[in-house]
Amino acid sequence: MIQLIGLKHDVKIEIREKLSIIPKRQKKCLESLLNVCEEAVILSTCNRTEIYFKSRDEDIIKKIFKVLNWDENLIKCVVNYEGEKAIQHLMEVVCGFDSLLLGEDQILGQVRDAYEVTKGLKTSKKELQRLFENAIACGKQFRNRSKISEIPVSSSSMVVKKAVDRGLKNFMILGYGAVGELTSKYVLEAKIDLLYIAVRDKQKVNIEDVRVKIILFNDLQKYYDKVDCVISCTTAPHTVVHLKELPNKNLLLFDLAVPRDIEEIVSESPLYEVYDIDMLGDIHDANYKRREASMKNNRYIVDKAIKEYIEWKTLEELAPFIKKIKQNGDFVYKERLETFKHKKKTKDNEELAELLLKSTSNAYVNRAIVVLKEEHLKGRSKKCEDIISRIFKI
């Protein structure tokens, strides 16, 4: 059975940090999950940690926590969905219905990336492969039909808008992964004077813009006093912005990372205004009602994708029986093919072919008649007639 465990919506960031799975640990965690699950996919973003898996083990949640070295006392902080509810959840996630920022445009790529990791490690097999491929296709179709990308929203766009609306001109971005790159794009689309991008390796950033300066993480302290806004979005497992290193001036700081990049004590200083990922919902978004209406009007795409996957899954239960039907069909035609090979030189081929074709037809027609008679005597002929009529197109 396909299931998922995911963080409850009201779980604070302090708990989410303890249950987060940063990218460099994802492969190892997937390999560990295969010790207790038949299949597994990890979807871990700045605002969610979800594990999709296949298992019928009644104690599977505890076993997952154990292999991931998670504190079992935190089991109360996760939800467990099974079967259709798990399928529905993924379809809603990939289309942006379950995001903190309704309709946000990064989640489709994040789901695709999560699935690609499992393909390389072969931790997703038939059922999860089909589920994630259907979900990704659903997400693409939803965005194409709803035109939701024309009403942009992401944590990156919202924090940049808040800073720009305040008239801030000098920015610093920490990290240049997917979120850092997107944030840079939004910053450079605004009328700003300067953007510092802090990375471990300067070769990772290739931006030709005179306003951009690439700096190393080790040199952060030298540049803090040159900016008005710091946006941190690294995948580091520890804090990278420390109170003792910040300048004696007002700064607007956004922490888009989980685990958090900014030391908690920073927010206690009156000089620094700090927003973490949990606080983004408080930032006004003028496009919310437009996105909400567009998503509601295109909800049918999600419902259709859920129905199609459930139908596929249901029909998959017939796969062993269908295989037997095909094997029986192969036996019938191969038996007659051998007869043709042996007699084609001794009999008229057209007459022989007619005989063998008629024999093949009779093998099934006569059997259908026998079954129909048996069922009629049991008072079940009507249902049997309907099935035989559909098979023989009567």
User: Which residues are tagged catalytic?
Assistant: 46
Which tokens sit at 153? 């929203």
Q: What are the backbone angles phi and psi of residue 281, rounded to the nearest 5°?
A: -65, -20
Closest-CA residue to 167 (of 250, 271, 101): 250
For residues 56 and 28, give the distance between their C-alpha atoms in angstroms, rounded to a whole number.
23
DSSP H/E element including 352: helix 349-377
For residues 173 and 160, give the distance between their C-alpha atoms in angstroms, rounded to a whole number.
11
For residues 3 and 39, give the distance between their C-alpha atoms in angstroms, rounded to a whole number.
10
Closest-CA residue to 118 (of 205, 194, 29, 46): 29
Strands (E) in the chain, as ranges, are: 2-7, 39-44, 49-54, 78-82, 170-174, 194-199, 212-216, 229-232, 251-255, 272-276
Which tokens sit at 101? 């920022």
Q: How many CB atoms lie within 10 A of CB 14?
A: 11
Which tokens sit at 141? 């179709």
DSSP class of residue 59?
Answer: T
Would strands 49-54 and 39-44 be described as parallel, antiparallel, or unpaired? antiparallel
Asked if 134 contacts 308 with a C-beta cutoff of 8 angstroms, the reply is yes
Buried b or exposed e, range 326-353, using 16+ CB within 10 angstroms:
eeeeeeeeeebeeeeeeeeeeeeeeebe
